[in-house]
């Protein structure tokens, strides 16, 4: 993160090594210059990967946050071009350790997905009702006019009818209730991105089955600090079997090395 306000302005605590997409640190100044100062990279960091929060503090995304966001956008674009949507191959999951800034990463991924010409709606799906408001507040901290929340299923349906490119923040429960109540909505046939805030077991059940049945052209991504692998799946679905393969990881050992767990 970069912080341009108050006494923390020049604090070394806010610095971080630039890194490759596999989290290998770039410590050599020549290598750093050759990568970070490429026109395309620098412009992207300034335009796409920086955000002001509600207190006008500038947040610059960390290398692993940028890498994860770019992998998601790459996957959406490549799947669309291949007409390969609505399968595990058209999505994936991000394994970022708890406290590494997943909300900012998922927000930027969702925000940049709304700017893709062919994407009609982006859903940001949280797990529990109490998280719905919290996530809305977090998202509005980054960009007050970029999100639509809803108090109930009817509110969610109204947001779907709006012709804007705002992120729709909803809970898995509201989304599932909508799918059960509405057999024929225009959004079912539109190009839709789903980003799940925390893709654990509660999203593997009925709602997931309904989503796959109702939506015809979707790209689905999950963020998690604790993915479910075959060895801890207890005979049921894994994170990869539901969301697709791992697109990027930043695990606890990376975070400890960087001393950057929030």
Alpha carbons 144 and 186: distance in angstroms, whole number: 27
For the question of whether the overall pTM of this predicted structure is more than 0.85, the answer is no
Residue identified by tokens 């992120």 is 167
Question: What would the pLDDT profile of 189-235 be if each residue is shown by its tens digit?
Answer: 999 999 998 777 666 688 889 999 999 999 999 999 888 888 877 77
What is the pLDDT of the chain when averaged over all its residues? 81
Sheet of 246-250: strands edge to edge?
147-148, 167-171, 121-126, 191-196, 217-224, 92-96, 246-250
List phi, psi (to 5°) of 122.
Answer: -125, 120
249 neighbors 118 (Cβ within 8 angstroms): no
Q: Convert the pLDDT of each residue in 149-175 to its tens digit.
A: 666 788 888 888 887 767 888 888 888
Nearest of 196, 217, 235 to residue 95 by alpha carbon: 196
DSSP helix/strand/coil, 221:
strand
Q: Return the SS3 of 11.
A: coil
Per residue in 79-89, pLDDT (tens digit) is 999 999 999 89
Residue 223 tokens, joined: 């963020």
CA distances to 52, 150, 160 from 123, rounded to whole Å, are 22, 12, 10
pLDDT confidence bin for 138, thresholds 50/70/90? low
In 3D space, the residue among 223, 194, 212, 202 whose CA is nearest the CA of residue 128 turns out to be: 202
CB atoms within 10 A of CB 68: 29
Which is the CATH superfamily of the domain at 63-258?
Answer: P-loop containing nucleotide triphosphate hydrolases (3.40.50.300)
The span from the CA of 70 to the CA of 64, in Å, is 10
Give, in order, the Cα–Cα distances in Å from 76 to each of 33, 59, 91, 115, 191: 30, 25, 7, 12, 10
**H/E segment holding residue 94:** strand 92-96
Confidence at residue 189, expressed as pLDDT on a 0 to 100 scale: 93
Q: Looking up tokens 């799906």, which residue turns up?
A: 125
Count CB atoms within 10 A of the CB of residue 103.
Answer: 17
Q: How far apart are CA 93 and CA 245, in angstroms?
A: 6
Q: Which residue has the higher pLDDT, 259 or 98?
A: 98
Where is average pLDDT lowest: 50-59, 91-100, 153-162?
Answer: 50-59
The first and second tokens of residue 163, run together, are: 């012709």
Higher pLDDT, 259 or 136: 259
């Amino acid at each position: 993160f970069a912080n341009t306000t108050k006494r923390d302005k020049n604090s070394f605590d806010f610095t971080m090594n630039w890194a490759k997409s596999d989290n290998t640190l770039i410590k050599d100044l020549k290598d750093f210059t050759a990568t970070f100062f490429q026109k395309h990279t620098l412009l992207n960091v300034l335009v796409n990967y920086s955000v002001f929060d509600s207190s006008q503090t500038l947040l610059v995304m960390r290398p692993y946050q940028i890498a994860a966001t770019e992998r998601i956008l790459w996957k959406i674009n490549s799947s669309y071009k291949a007409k390969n949507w609505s399968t595990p191959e058209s999505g994936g999951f991000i394994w970022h350790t708890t406290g590494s800034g997943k909300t900012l990463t998922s927000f930027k991924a969702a925000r940049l997905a709304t700017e893709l010409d062919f994407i009609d709606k982006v859903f940001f799906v949280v797990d529990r009702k109490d998280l719905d408001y919290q996530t809305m507040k977090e998202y509005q901290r980054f960009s007050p006019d970029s999100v639509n929340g809803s108090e109930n299923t009817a509110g969610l349906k109204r947001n779907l009818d709006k012709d804007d490119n705002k992120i729709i923040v909803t809970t898995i429960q509201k989304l599932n209730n909508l799918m059960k109540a509405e057999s024929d909505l225009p959004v079912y046939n539109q190009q839709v991105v789903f980003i799940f805030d925390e893709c654990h077991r509660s999203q593997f059940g009925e709602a997931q089955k309904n989503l796959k049945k109702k939506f015809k052209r979707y790209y689905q991504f999950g963020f998690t600090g604790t993915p479910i692998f075959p060895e801890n799946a207890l005979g049921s679905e894994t994170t990869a079997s539901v969301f697709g393969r791992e697109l990027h990881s930043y695990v606890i050992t990376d975070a400890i090395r960087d001393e950057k767990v929030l």
